[in-house]
């Protein structure tokens, strides 16, 4: 486990080659991981799903879809991030136009207690996406490789 200026990322919170049938199942697995580690309250998942329905988080980045779901800070005990690389993409609604769907391969689940931390880590994730090929590289890493990469690339100030 590494604490990035109070944002925790653990090997247990990184899942590669995750086999799920839909976004709710993927989000439940990630949420369960954070809950089991004591980082979130049990209300997090329901709030996350509700927020995702009203404010979708799917985003097309080059040729790989990603999602950056999150919910209200009151459901967070310890700032943390969970990441899943899916075996096969699942549909999320597009954050720009929720009538459209995005086939999402990588999910960055943010569990953050302050909007300043949220904006900072969001900017860093977007910076990772700017370079073409980065997402494809991320999607082919093992759990250990992805964990090491994220610890190296993500930090808060």
Show the domain range for 20.
2-153
Q: Is the pLDDT of residue 156 over 60?
A: no
Measured CA to CA, the distance from residue 35 to residue 42 in angstroms comes to 7
Mean local confidence (pLDDT), 53-70: 90
Of the candidate ranges 20-29, 47-56, 135-144, the one whose mean pLDDT is the lowest: 135-144
Place of tokens 């049990």: 42
What's the rounded Cα separation, in Å, for the pair 43 and 57?
19
pLDDT band at 63 (very low <50, low <70, confident <90, very high): confident
Residue of higher predicted confidence among 37 and 2: 37
Q: Is the pLDDT of residue 149 over 50?
A: yes
CATH code where residue 81 lies: 3.40.930.10
pLDDT at 2 over 70: no
Mean pLDDT, the chain, whole residue set: 88
Kindly tell me the burial class for residue 110, based on how many C-beta atoms sit within 10 Å of its own C-beta (0-12, 13-18, 19 or more).
buried
pLDDT above 70 coverage of the chain, percent: 92
Q: Give the mean pLDDT of 47-70.
A: 92
- The tally of domains found in the chain comes to 1
Task: Tell me the mean pLDDT in the region 21-25.
Answer: 97
Between 91 and 154, name the one with better pLDDT: 91
């Amino acid at each position: 486990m590494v604490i990035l200026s109070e944002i925790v990322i653990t090997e247990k919170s990184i899942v590669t080659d995750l086999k799920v049938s839909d976004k709710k199942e993927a989000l439940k697995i990630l949420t369960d991981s954070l809950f089991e580690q004591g980082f979130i309250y049990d209300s997090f998942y329901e709030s996350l799903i509700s927020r995702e329905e009203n404010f979708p988080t799917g985003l097309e980045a080059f040729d790989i879809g990603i999602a950056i779901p999150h919910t209200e800070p009151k459901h967070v005990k310890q700032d943390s991030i969970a990441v899943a690389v899916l075996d096969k993409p699942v549909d999320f609604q597009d954050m720009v136009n929720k009538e459209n769907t995005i086939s999402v391969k990588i999910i960055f689940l943010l569990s953050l207690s302050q909007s300043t931390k949220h904006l900072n880590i969001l900017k860093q994730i977007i910076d990772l996406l700017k370079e073409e090929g980065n997402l494809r590289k991320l999607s082919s890493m093992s759990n250990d490789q992805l964990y090491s990469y994220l610890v190296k690339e993500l930090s808060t100030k």
